[in-house]
Structure 1
């Protein structure tokens, strides 16, 4: 099973938002949206939007919004 995990991390590397889903298209749309929504200031400070995959719900951060 592949689970797509979108993470938005601030300049300190702290997870600010996380959405996980088994739907690849939904995950990619979310990632593009988050990339677009980062402000110039956030980018300069080092904010990151990361899209990754994991094999188990146990690997998804606890505070993630989980969409099936």
Structure 2
């Protein structure tokens, strides 16, 4: 199984939002949307948006919104 995990972290590295899905297109759309919505101030403060692939729901952060 392939699961895409989108994480939005603040400048301190704390996850502010996390969405996990088995739908690659939805994951890529979410990632692109989050990148577009980061403000210049957030970018300056070190906010980042990442997407990673995991093989099991056990590897998804517990605070993630899980979409299947």
With the length of structure 1 as denominator, give the TM-score of the two structures: 0.99
Give the Cα–Cα distance (whole angstroms) in 2 for the partners of residues 60 and 48 of structure 1. 18
Structure 1 stretches of 5 or more lacking a match?
A: none
Count of residue pairs brought into register by the alignment: 68
Structure 2: how far apart are the matches of 1:21 and 1:66? 6
RMSD: 0.3
Instruction: Find out whether 1:18 has 2:18 as its counterpart.
Output: yes
Distance in 1 between residues matched to 2:11 and 2:24, nearest whole Å: 27
Equivalent position of 1:46 in the other structure: 46
Is there any run of 5+ residues in structure 2 with no aligned partner, and where? none
Q: Which runs of 4+ in 1 moved over 6 A?
A: none
The 2-side partners of 1:28 and 1:59 are apart by: 19
Provide the secondary structure at the position in 2 that maps to 1:6: strand
TM-score scaled by length of structure 2: 0.99
